[in-house]
Amino acid sequence: MSDRRTPPIFLDHASTTPLDPRVAAVMIEVLQGPLGIGNPSSSTHAPGRAAAAAIEQARVEVAQLIGADPRDLVFTSGATEADNLAVLGLAHGLKSRGRHLVTSRTEHKAVLDPCKQLEKRGWQIGWLEPARDGRITPEALAAALREDTQGEAAKIVGERRHGDAAHVERLAVVFRDALRALKDISWNDHPQHRLPGLLSISVDGVEGESLIAAMPSIAVSSGAACDSALGEPSYVLRAQGLSPELAQSTLRISFGRFNSEAEALGAAEILRSAVGGLRECDAPGAPAGTGWHMGAAGSLREGARIRVYLRASPAVAGESRAAARIEALEFRAATCPAVRAVLDELQRRCIGRALADPA
């Protein structure tokens, strides 16, 4: 059990990343200073004009970082809005050049959903199928392009970015190497051709949400995240060819610039221990001793695979078999924490009761 006062090792940088302390300091300075009271749209007074100037200065700095014209930058409320605006805006703005777009089945929902919307409105979408390791080959992309395909590419360069990429990739290699001895696992990403620091691991026979719950000292996501709250197998992993069961048994680990090698090694050890404990809870074979009766229900595809072992006391002379008492009850399950809690409560309540009335 981890100390609740100790922050978990954060390995979910693919969804968000900790704020750089230097950035936080500037944000606090702006919010608490004169700029914090100005509305940039209010050009009739000094605070408004100062706020507008600060935003334009930020626009220039971001443009320099990515090699863009400041006039081409639009600040949005977040990634989903930005993706939607980019896809729909470019599609409609360039429709005179053609109504054909190319994307992949593994794109983020913020890209897939507007593409599907365009498809309903008459655009033709070329859907690229990924390889088992999630890659889209250059040959597949080239084959999908047509004369009327809309497209635009941007190359982001910067010394800091390259340094961070090398650091997080080194941590990913350390983490992966530390798990070599763990049996029945599979990696869903290419060893080299992938986003630096991002790993996807499937643990056969272990339900993903249970694994996350068993590691409170690590912050990771199940599947490909984003839709993880829905409880459905990741559409990205399904598009890569994983079975629903294996997709439900998958974790996404993503390292960031503030992670250390010690954290990578520690996280690997915590994962090994958690997998061992959960597999023990779902170990094959009946409990020790004789007289056990076994039943089973569910599957990992349904979110829970449960086997129940029951042993009843010998029937007393003159009484029916239904009057016998439940002497022992054990559950072997690959399931989520909520179902595991229900099984534990059932075990507590049923032992000692008559077979005819276990409730």
Lowest-confidence region among 109-118, 285-294, 315-324: 315-324
Per-residue confidence (pLDDT) for residue 167, from 0 to 100: 92
Q: How far apart are CA 197 and CA 14, in angstroms?
A: 9
The dihedral sign for the CA sequence 169, 172, 176, 177? positive
DSSP output for 157-207: --HHHHHHHHHHHHHHHHHHHHTTT-SSEEE-S-SSSS-TTEEEEEETTS-
Q: How far is CA 226 from CA 27, 87, 234, 267, in A?
A: 27, 19, 9, 22
Gap between the Cα atoms of 49 and 282, Å rounded: 64
- Mean pLDDT computed over every residue of the chain: 82
Mark residue 77 as left, alpha or beta (left: phi above 0; alpha: psi -120 to 50; beta: remaining). Answer: alpha
Q: What average pLDDT does this structure show over 99-112?
A: 86
Contacts of 49 (CB under 8 A, 6+ apart): 38, 43
- pLDDT 10s digits, 181-211: 999 998 988 777 788 899 999 998 888 888 8
pLDDT reported for residue 96 = 80
Question: Percent of the chain having pLDDT more than 90?
Answer: 21
Average confidence (pLDDT) over 85-99: 85
3-class SS string, 207-233: CHHHHHHCCCCEECEECCCCCHHHCCC
pTM over the 0.85 mark: no
Which alpha helices (DSSP H) does the chain contain, by range?
21-32, 46-66, 79-93, 109-120, 138-144, 159-178, 208-213, 235-239, 244-247, 261-281, 337-350
Choosing from 226, 281, 336, 350, which is the catalytic residue?
226
Instruction: Please give the pLDDT value at position 95.
Output: 82
Average pLDDT (277-306) is 82
Which one, of 210, 240, 238, 205, lies nearest residue 222 by Cα? 210
Which residues is 295 bridged to in the sheet? Answer: 308
- The two tokens of residue 238 are 């399904």
Q: Which domains does the chain have, with CATH numbers?
A: 33-68 (no CATH), 78-153 (3.40.640.10), 159-281 (3.90.1150.10), 293-350 (no CATH)
- 287-295: long-range contacts, CB 8 A cutoff, minimum separation 24: 287/328, 287/330, 292/328
User: Annotated catalytic, 336?
Assistant: no
* pLDDT tens column, 60-81: 999 998 889 999 999 998 889 9
Rounded Cα gap, residues 22 and 255, in angstroms: 20
Range of 216-220, 227-231, 244-248 with top mean pLDDT: 216-220
Per-residue confidence band for 358, with pLDDT thresholds at 50, 70 and 90: low
Poorest-pLDDT segment among 230-244, 304-318, 332-346 = 230-244
Give the side-chain half-sphere CA count within 13 A for 176: 24
